[in-house]
Amino acid sequence: MAPVVTSVSPTQGNPAGGTPVTINGSGFTGATVVRFGANLATNVVVMSNTQITARTPPGSGTAKVTVTGPTGTSTQNVFFTYTTVAAPVLTALSPTSGPTGGGNTVTITGSNLTGATQVLFGAAPATILTNTATQITVSAPAGTGTVNVAVTTPGGTSNSLPYTYTTVSAPTLTSLSPASGPTSGGNTVTLTGTNLTGAVQVLFGATPATILTNTATQITVTAPAGPASVVNVTVTTPGGISNPLSYIYVAAPVVTGVSPQFGPDTGGNSVTVTGSGLALASAVHFGPSLATGFTVISDNQLTATAPPGTGTVVVTVTTPGGTSTLGPGNPYYTYLGAPVINSLIPDEGSSFGGDSVTINGSNLTYTDSVTFGGVPASFSVLSDSLAVATAPAHAAGTVNVQLHTPAGNSNTLPFTYDPV
């Protein structure tokens, strides 16, 4: 049976000839002639019964590709088109050096790179990974010294750029700073170690980070996003892949409540903050103001010393996972001015008690106790400036009347109990 030709790759090339092609089919064993139209191909090599490599002869237009062997000549309509294709031009290699063992990825940048059929490092072919009109990535072959890198396309062979094989030590990582961060990523992480020059990739687990700066002993990156978990961070350089270091993705903290929810505007009181993800707290804020101190009790609770402030504010906790935001619960804290008593009407009454006493003052809304000489009285708060108390029974004499709110004790005013 005569040879069968099923395809040719590439399907077009320079009219001047010399384009490397691969012919696929069957029945190629013993083939002696490959023609492009009426013209004989050169450098014909029968790779197997199903594949032949060759270089095109000069030609024009569209030429039928045929293979002739001991049993005849192929008849299938497989064509090669002669067209003026611009020669490839190389402008850059990245990196420009790598290990003698090869295997590292090299990016070749230039123009007219579409349809690359071969990339040579010296005389050694590289494995083509990706190919566009302006960029090719390859896996470098093994080699030594400095070699020329060139690309062959249907338009011809490019200029060459130097690539140096070096004995490069593998990178080593000694620390990450910080060693934890938010699940949303975006934070800057500094990697410290040795042999870090020429880093081509930094992985957080399986996700690449964006490399910002790179020296022999330090790399800074923008961490990618990741789920709340522990991942390994590694660096790849021309010398290989580093040891891994652990990085913790931390979920953002959540504040669901504060107790008490009121306190003096002078601050200084202890407030219990509850929520989740609080164990790694680095700061607690009452509105814009930083708490003067805090103690982590558990992942769900901490105590903070309230700073001075005014009005109602949101209490937030900051961890490596970020700063808590408004969500479920009640993270609000209200600052109160100290209560003040301006007058008592009347300011005297019966020792039997029961007299209704109007208390005029300020900051009375959150009054939680009224005492006459230390004896609790029943009371009602009518407004922030007005409360009414029922004087308890007391021995004749003058006693101090005082109010208390979450902001503390008021001043005192005298109340006189008349003898019976």
How much is the pLDDT for 353?
A: 95
Quick one: fold of 89-166? Answer: Immunoglobulin-like (2.60.40)
Question: What is the per-residue pLDDT across 286-317, written as a single tens digit (0 to 9) for each?
Answer: 999 999 999 999 999 999 999 999 999 999 99
Same fold, 172-250 and 340-418: yes
What local confidence, expressed as pLDDT, does residue 170 receive? 85
Q: pLDDT-derived band of residue 394, with 50, 70 and 90 as boundaries?
A: very high
Tens-place pLDDT, residues 87-117? 899 999 998 988 888 888 899 999 999 889 8
Alpha-carbon distance 53 to 8, whole Å?
10
Q: Residue 46 corresponds to which amino acid?
A: V
Return all residues near 226 (Cβ < 8 A) that are at least 6 apart. 183, 185, 204, 205, 207, 249
Query: Residue 74: phi, psi to the nearest 5?
Result: -60, 155
pLDDT tier, 24 (very low <50, low <70, confident <90, very high otherwise): very high
Check residue 167 and give its pLDDT. Answer: 78
Q: Is the peptide bond before 238 cis (omega within 30 degrees of 0)?
A: no
At 261, the pLDDT band (50, 70, 90 cuts) reads: very high
Choose the CATH number for 254-336 among 2.60.40.10, 3.90.700.10, 1.10.1740.10, 2.60.40.1510. 2.60.40.10
User: For 4-82, which CATH class?
Assistant: mainly beta
**Which residue, chain included where needed, has tokens 């990178």?**
171
Amino acid sitting at position 338: A
**What is the C-alpha to C-alpha distance for residues 294 and 292, in angstroms, rounded to an integer?**
7
- pLDDT tens digit string along 402-419? 999 999 999 999 999 998
pLDDT bin (cut points 50, 70, 90) of residue 18 is confident
Among the listed residues 63, 62, 30, 27, the one whose alpha carbon sits nearest the alpha carbon of residue 44: 30
Residues 76/4, Cβ–Cβ less than 8 Å: yes
Single pTM value for the model: 0.54
CATH topology of domain 340-418: Immunoglobulin-like (2.60.40)
Q: Which helix (H) or strand (E) holds 171?
A: none
Q: What are the residues facing 138 on neighbouring strands?
A: 106, 128
- Residues in Cβ contact with 320 at an 8 Å cutoff, skipping those fewer than 6 apart: 178, 180, 181, 182, 248, 250, 280, 282
* Spatial CA neighbour of 40 closest among 55, 50, 26, 27: 55
Section 184-195 average pLDDT: 96
Question: What pLDDT score was predicted for residue 135?
Answer: 97
Nearest to 224, CA basis, from 211, 241, 209: 209
Burial zone of 249 (CB within 10 Å; 0-12 exposed, 13-18 middle, 19+ buried): buried
| pLDDT number for residue 245 | 97
The proportion of the chain whose per-residue pLDDT surpasses 90, expressed as a percent, equals 85
Burial 100-116 (b: 16+ CB within 10 A, else e): eebebbbebebebbbbb
- Tens digits of residue pLDDT in 217-234: 999 999 999 999 999 999
Phi-psi map region of 61: left, alpha, beta (phi>0 left; psi -120 to 50 alpha): left
Structure confidence at residue 240 (pLDDT): 82
Please state the rounded mean pLDDT for residues 378-385. Answer: 97
pLDDT at 111: 95
CA Rg, the chain, in Å?
42
Give the residue carrying structure tokens 């290990």.
99
Cβ-proximal residues to 146 (8 Å cutoff; 6+ apart), any chain:
162, 163, 164, 165
Above 80 in pLDDT, residue 168? Answer: no
Task: Quote the pLDDT of residue 398.
Answer: 97
Kindly write down the DSSP assignment for every residue of 288-316, as one continuous string: TEEPSEEEEEETTEEEEEPPS--SEEEEE
DSSP class of 278? -
Task: At 31, list the tokens.
Answer: 């083939």
Query: What is the phi/psi pair of residue 107, to 5°?
Result: -100, 125
pLDDT band at 326 (very low <50, low <70, confident <90, very high): confident
pLDDT by residue (tens digit) across 39-84? 999 999 999 999 999 999 999 999 999 999 999 999 999 999 998 8
Judged on CB neighbours under 10 Å (0-12, 13-18, 19+), 396 is exposed
Taking the C-alpha atoms of residue 418 and residue 420, their distance in angstroms, rounded to an integer, is 6
Query: What is the spatial distance between Cα 192 and Cα 221, in angstroms, rounded to a whole number?
Result: 11
Looking at residues 374-394, what average pLDDT do you find?
97
Tell me the average pLDDT across 6-31.
91
Q: Please state, rounded to an integer, the average pLDDT across all residues of the chain.
A: 94
In one-letter notation, the amino acid at residue 99 is P
Q: Which residues pair with 136 in a beta bridge?
A: 108, 131
pLDDT of residue 92: 96
The C-alpha angle 172, 173, 178, rounded to 5 degrees, equals 170
pLDDT-based confidence at residue 13 (cuts at 50, 70, 90): confident
Return the domain boundaries, the chain: 4-82, 89-166, 172-250, 254-336, 340-418
Q: What's the CATH number for 172-250?
A: 2.60.40.10
pLDDT digits (tens, 9 = 90+) for 231-256: 999 999 878 889 999 999 999 999 99
Do 316 and 386 form a contact (C-beta atoms < 8 A)?
no
Q: Locate tokens 């964006």: which residue?
A: 210
Residue with tokens 């103001």: 289
Residue 325 clears pLDDT 90, i.e. is over it:
no
- Using an 8 Å Cβ cutoff, are 299 and 279 in contact? yes
pLDDT beyond 90 at 282: yes
- Measuring CA to CA, how many Å separate 158 from each of 112, 402, 414? 9, 95, 103
Q: What is the pLDDT of residue 305?
A: 97
